[in-house]
Amino acid sequence: MAGRPLKIAKAHRLLKTAAARELRISAGLSLADVAEGVGVTAGAVHAWEHGRYLPRGDHAVRYARLLADLESLARR
């Protein structure tokens, strides 16, 4: 299952460069919107975006998928 670790690694990279936050904002999504989609609290997403924590496990995979979708939208 090489896809899962790669998705998580990409999400972590986007978080470390602040690109994840920029993608969220450019898509017009609030912290609560992202949190609902990933299954966490808005505070957790805020902590991820500000480098206090990194998402792990299933939350990381869901977040990575969301970021990939937001990147696709940004390219259109």
Domains of the chain: 3-75 (1.10.260)
pLDDT in tens, 5-56: 888 888 888 888 889 999 999 999 999 999 999 999 999 999 999 999 999 9
pLDDT for the residue numbered 74: 85
> Whole-angstrom Cα distance, residue 67 to residue 61?
10
Write the CA distances from 55 to 19, 23, 34, 46, integer angstroms. 15, 17, 13, 11
pTM, 2 dp: 0.87
